[in-house]
Amino acid sequence: SAPEGDRLRIAVQKSGRLSAPSLELLTAVGLGFAPAGDRLFCAGENAPVDLLRVRDDDIPGLVADGGCDLGIVGADVLGEFAAGAGVRPPSLLRELGFGRCRLAIALPQGLNWSGPASLAGLRIATSHPRHLAAWLRANAVAAEIVTLSGAVEIAPRLGRADAVCDLVSSGATLAANALREVATVATSQAVLVGRAGGLDAARAAIAGPLLQRLDAVLGVRG
């Protein structure tokens, strides 16, 4: 077994859309954890693998700076982090097939859509400012980006924005807020990320068989 201290640390979302499917996947690859309850740290019961349960936004940074070896996070959150200046982002190791959604532009009633140019001069609320900025640039549209950490879909009603750029899966939340989806900025799903520089030998020896079992599980799921 691995020497003391040589344990693999995996960052997962503590509570949110990716929490349950992330834990299910880790269970499916054979890892056992005691019920986590409210704890931040969760020691593996049958392998030298521990969980760190955090906000999803913290996961790319934790993996980038070596606080964790692997992480499970939305590709959208990874992309926002990677588009930031400074740190080398984590590597995308595997697409995991859950947490599928799209980052979409949506408009309230009364705003017409005839293409991206319809957004010129508008204030667009989003928690994905770098994705939105890149998309606006690619479409040669000048608009104001209003960065919010949550509750993006109610920004137009509050008068804080004219339109939104938000994550959508079924579309029910947009519909409930009388917003209509008009364009897709990016698609997303949960991904496994790892340190850009790779793992040291001891941790690579733990991760190797795990990734093999992961590939078998993902292969079966299709």
**Shortest distance (Å) from residue 149 CB to Zn ion:** 8
Contact, 120 vs 142, CB < 8 A?
yes
Among 50, 57, 95, 181, the residue binding Zn ion under the rule CB under 5 A is 57
**Shortest distance (Å) from residue 125 CB to Zn ion:** 16
* CB-nearest residue to ligand ATP: 74
Span between the terminal Cα atoms of the chain, in Å = 32
Phi and psi at residue 159, to the nearest 5°: 80, 10
Closer by beta carbon to ligand ATP, 56 or else 69: 56
Among 48, 53, 56, 80, the residue binding Zn ion under the rule CB under 5 A is 56
153 binds Zn ion, rule: CB under 5 A:
no
3-state secondary structure of 216: helix
Closer by beta carbon to Zn ion, 29 or else 191: 191
Q: What letter represents residue 169's amino acid?
A: S
The contact set with ligand ATP (CB under 6 A) reads 13, 16-18, 55-57, 74, 76-77, 99, 101, 167-169, 188
Closer by beta carbon to ligand ATP, 174 or else 207: 174
166 binds Zn ion, rule: CB under 5 A:
no
Residue 101's binding partner among ligand ATP, Zn ion, none (Cβ under 5 to 8 angstroms by kind) is ligand ATP
In angstroms, the CA 147 to CA 144 distance is: 10
Beta pairing partners, 183? 105
In angstroms, the CA 38 to CA 29 distance is: 23
In angstroms, the CA 104 to CA 158 distance is: 20
**Shortest distance (Å) from residue 123 CB to ligand ATP:** 21
In angstroms, the CA 4 to CA 6 distance is: 6
Closer by beta carbon to ligand ATP, 118 or else 126: 126
For the record, the structure tokens of 126 come out as 């989003």
Binding site for Zn ion (CB under 5 A): 56-57
